[in-house]
Amino acid sequence: MQKKAIIAMSGGVDSSVAAYLMIQAGYDCAGATMKLYDKPQCSQPGDRSCCTPSDTEDARNVAARLGILYYVFPMHEEFRHHVIDKFASTYLNGGTPNPCIDCNRFLKFDALIKKAQELGADYIVSGHYAQIQQDPDTGRYLLKKGLDHTKDQSYVLYSMTQDQLAHTLFPLGTYTKAEIRQIAQEQGFINADKPDSQDICFVPDGDYASFIEEYTGRTSVPGDFVNKEGKVLGTHKGHIHYTIGQRRGLGISAPESLYVCAKSLKDNQVILGGKDDLMSSSCLVGDINLIPWDHLDGPVQCKVKTRYRQPEQPATIEQIGENRIRVTFQEPQRAVTPGQAAVFYDGDTVLGGGTILAEDA
């Protein structure tokens, strides 16, 4: 029987070519766009965020060209609860969130899979540059890097469960970005040369602090910039305006560069220091997801990324509780930031990951 697949179509070139490749592979396909967020400021010409009305029209255009059904699923409430609320809460509690990871986790690979199953689909399909393979020895599904390591997106997929991996296909995993654009051009897709989205869809101007203040109704309270000895160096605008490792925009004159090293919400202080003060030899990770196993039985040597664009770093990971892993780096790492994801790798295989909780140096 012909397998049925729902293609998560964002309006971009990657998901459009994913739909084409699945049709070529013999699947019964339909396209679907999740309607996540409606705000006028997210619809301006030239925006490089996703989820705009023009993105929906681009996806609809490609689906029509391919001759497949096309759905738009309203998921505003799910997006608000799982992504925007968490984004605001993480900042207000001193962290720096990654909303794209939460969108993948709670919307694309949870809510969308459920919608697809209601329609009788066997799989959802995404235009991510990653691969899914099944381990012949254990039967578990494994998440692998995409062949094009310059576009690999496995970092933002570490939270996928075994059930989600079993019902997801990544047809772009063995292609390069250049090859995908060439296919789109050959097929005459309207978005063949469309730039990749870069901005967070609900904060297209990048002013996170203003968005959080407007969204929550909470005005930032100024406080003290201090050094690690507690000496007051100046006044900050409110802790949500700053992220760990930030150097620019502090408004403080000093004989050497100062960086945001930590925050004390209790005292409403932002702690500044030099480059060396940003270094961490270890960190704690919570809200963990492991892919090849359910639990770590002992220390594991691997490589770890604590930011999307960061090169992987040698480290040891050890599970110290039901939902806690300690990461010990072979060499101290710069600006390990609470709220960001730590993702574990063994070569091209994603072992899992979690949310950075606090320094544990």
Write the pLDDT tens digit of every residue in 94-127. 999 999 999 999 999 999 999 999 999 999 999 9
CA-nearest of 15, 312, 22 to 145 is 312
Residue 8 marked in a binding site: yes
The predicted model gives 149-159 an average pLDDT of 96
Distance CA 16, CA 222 (A): 46
> Is the residue at 194 inside a domain?
no
Has 103 been annotated as catalytic?
yes
Find the catalytic residue in 29, 51, 103, 261: 103
Q: Are residues 247 and 268 in the same domain?
A: yes
Q: Are residues 16 and 57 in the same domain?
A: yes
Which residue's entry shows tokens 């993702």? 343
Instruction: Give the pLDDT confidence score for residue 313 in this predicted structure.
Output: 98
Distance CA 130, CA 347 (A): 14
Helices 13-24 and 53-66 pack at an angle, to 10 degrees, of 20
Contact 335, 274 (CB under 8 A): no
The predicted model gives 256-263 an average pLDDT of 95
Q: Are residues 15 and 51 in the same domain?
A: yes
> Is the residue at 207 inside a domain?
no
Which of 186, 209, 239 is the endpoint of a domain? 186
Share of the chain above pLDDT 90, in %: 88
Residue 273 marked in a binding site: no
Residue 11 marked in a binding site: yes
Contact 286, 324 (CB under 8 A): yes
Q: What is the mean pLDDT of the chain?
A: 93
The predicted model gives 232-260 an average pLDDT of 94
Residue 9 marked in a binding site: yes
pLDDT over 60 (residue 164): yes
269-273 and 223-226: which strand pairing? parallel
Instruction: Give the pLDDT confidence score for residue 360 in this predicted structure.
Output: 43
Q: In what order do the strands lie in the sheet with 232-236?
A: 232-236, 223-226, 269-273, 259-264
Q: CATH code at 37?
A: 3.40.50.620
Res. 39 pLDDT band, cuts 50 70 90: low
Res. 230 pLDDT band, cuts 50 70 90: very high
Q: Are residues 257 and 291 in the same domain?
A: no
Q: Are residues 228 and 347 in the same domain?
A: no
Burial code (b: 16+ CB inside 10 Å, e: under 16) for 71-91 equals eebebeebbeebbbebbbebb
CA distances from 100 to 3, 104, 118, 264, 333 (A): 29, 6, 25, 26, 23
Which of 132, 167, 186 is the endpoint of a domain? 186
pLDDT over 70 (residue 40): no
Range of the domain at 336: 278-359
pLDDT over 80 (residue 48): no
Count of domains in the chain?
3
Instruction: Give the pLDDT confidence score for residue 359 in this predicted structure.
Output: 58
Residue 43 marked in a binding site: no
> Is the residue at 253 inside a domain?
yes
pLDDT over 90 (residue 205): no
The pLDDT tens digits of the residues spanning 287-338 come to 999 999 999 999 999 999 999 999 999 999 999 999 999 999 999 999 999 9
| Total-model pTM | 0.93
The predicted model gives 23-44 an average pLDDT of 81
349 or 359: whose pLDDT is higher?
349
Residue 31 marked in a binding site: no
The predicted model gives 192-213 an average pLDDT of 88
Q: Are residues 283 and 268 in the same domain?
A: no
Res. 43 pLDDT band, cuts 50 70 90: very low
Q: Which residues are CB-contacts of 214 (< 8 A; sequence separation ≥ 6)? A: none
Find the catalytic residue in 29, 42, 201, 302: 201
Has 201 been annotated as catalytic?
yes
Residue 287 marked in a binding site: no
Residue 10 marked in a binding site: yes
